[in-house]
Amino acid sequence: MKPAIPPPQENLLGLDKLELCQLAEVLDEPKFRGKQLFHDIYARRHRDFAQCAELPAHFRQILSSRYRVDYPEIKGRRASRDGSVRYLFSLHDGESVETVYMPDEGRVTLCVSSQVGCAVNCRFCFTALLGVKRNLDPGEIVGQIIAVTCAEQHPAGTPLNVVFMGMGEPLLNLDSVMKAVRIMVDADGLAIALRRITISTAGVIPKIHLLAREAVRPKLAISLNASTDEQRTELMPLNRKYPLSKLFEACRAFPLGSREHLTFEYVLLDGVNDTDSDARRVGALLAGIRSKVNLIPYNAGQGLPYRPSPLRRVLAFQKILQDQQIPAFIRISRGQDIMAACGQLRLAEMGDSTAQAAQPLSSA
């Protein structure tokens, strides 16, 4: 008996090993052909089934006549003076998302999107201005990685970090994000080390608990961005539903490997959340949690009222955390000249009046 599964989507990108094995069986092939197909699509990056030399000719023909391997289409590419490259992808329904390729001292970090737009509505974020359009499917998530690494001719030996810090709230699209992650870490897939994958969340607490129970679990980063509930609710309205006490309860319950830590991101906004008292309160919140803090200078643009904190504030904030034995790093904003803050480029491409006034492009 063949398994009763619905015919898969025509675009095979995003199907996992099990689904491709089921597809092989439905097409009267032995199951292991599905594994070979998985390897061909993700590890060898074949888009044309004729290239799949291990597969028998008749199977290749059937696949070619019924299915495709489609990557998201590159609609724009902008290189920054600092070496980072921002991609704008066009999806099958005309929607678009952004991905940023950031080379840095022998490794590369890829910042990927999980949704078209975002529903979370953080007041300082450009993606929030778009609202949420839809979730990305697993193929659209791994497709960003494959398309960008191919276009950049990413050298095979260079370590690749993947951070879900592009457009969207990954924990509000957890099923697709996790399916994509499993394809990424599979040795026959993209073969990316699990410890190099980070999901960043604004703090969707029930989903943090779900992520904690995943067998294949990427690292977790929490966008903290404030030191009191009042301040956080102002900047990130989801804090009303998911306040700091509950957020830290979930953080304390999150399982960590022996050398692992939780990352807390803190976007420093001039005169809003960057005082010495804020730093001391952040230190108190993190007490007893194996954590590190990434201090992110704000990437500003007109249309939103926030400004980056001056460097001396950033340094003072960092020192107060370090004095409390909390590792704190300053994350230099990459791609300022290419509007690399979340959602900025897409807004500009849409001709949105808000972003028209955003930072000018100064390099191509």
Catalytic residues: 98, 342
129: left (phi over 0), alpha (psi -120 to 50) or beta: alpha
79/12 Cα distance (integer angstroms): 30
Residue 267 sits in the site that holds ligand SAH (CB under 6 A): yes
Site for ligand SAH in 336-355 (CB under 6 A): 341-342
Which residue's structure tokens are 């200078």?
297
Site for ligand SAH (CB under 6 A): which residue of 265, 278, 337, 352?
Answer: 265
Q: Which x/- pattern over 278-317 shows residues binding ligand SAH (rule: CB under 6 A)?
A: ------------------x-xx------------------
Q: What is the CA radius of gyration of the chain?
A: 21
Contact between 125 and ligand SAH (CB under 6 A)? yes
CB of 346 to ligand SAH, least distance (A): 13
| Binding flag, residue 226, ligand SAH (CB under 6 A) | no
SS3 113: coil
242 vs 298, which CB is nearer to ligand SAH? Answer: 298
Beta bridge partners of 102: 109
Least separation in angstroms between residue 200's CB and ligand SAH is 4
| Nearest to ligand SAH of 91, 226 (CB atom) | 226
The residue range among 51-59, 151-159, 198-206, 284-292 that interacts with ligand SAH, by the rule CB under 6 A, is: 198-206
What count of other Cβ atoms lies within 10 Å of the Cβ of residue 285? 21
Q: Which is nearer to ligand SAH, 146 or 165 (CB)?
A: 165
Taking the complex as a whole, the smallest distance from the CB of residue 170 to ligand SAH amounts, in Å, to: 6
* 3 state DSSP class of 309: coil
Task: Answer for the pair 321, 310: CB distance below 8 angstroms, yes or no.
Answer: no
Residue 286: how many other CB atoms lie within 10 Å? 22
Residue 270, Cβ density class (10 Å: 0-12 exposed, 13-18 middle, ≥19 buried): middle
Largest separation between any pair of C-alpha atoms in the chain: 69
What 3-state class would DSSP assign to 100?
A: strand
**List 84, 96, 198, 225, residue binding ligand SAH (CB under 6 A):** 225
**Does residue 273 interact with ligand SAH by CB under 6 A?**
no
Both structure tokens of 257: 């490997």
- Would you say 356 and 129 are in contact if contact means Cβ atoms under 8 Å apart? no
Task: Give the separation between CA 325 and CA 166, rounded to whole angstroms.
Answer: 30
Q: Answer yes or no whether residue 110 interacts with ligand SAH by CB under 6 A.
A: no
223, 309, 318, 359: which one binds ligand SAH (CB under 6 A): 223
Least gap, CB of 249 to ligand SAH (angstroms): 19
List, in order, residues 6 or more apart from 357 with CB less than 8 Å away: 301, 302, 303
Cβ-based neighbour number of residue 36 at 10 Å: 21
Binding residue (CB under 6 A) for ligand SAH from 97, 147, 165, 174: 165
Q: According to the binding rule CB under 6 A, does residue 201 interact with ligand SAH?
A: yes
Query: Does 169 contact ligand SAH by CB under 6 A?
Result: yes
Q: Which two tokens stand for residue 211?
A: 């992520």
Candidates 15-23, 121-129, 186-194, 208-216; binding stretch for ligand SAH (CB under 6 A): 121-129
Can you tell me which residue has the tokens 């201005």? Answer: 129
Q: Is 88 in the site for ligand SAH (CB under 6 A)?
A: no
Q: Does 202 bind ligand SAH (CB under 6 A)?
A: yes
Residues binding ligand SAH (CB under 6 A): 120, 124-126, 165, 169, 200-202, 223, 225, 265, 267, 296, 298-299, 341-342
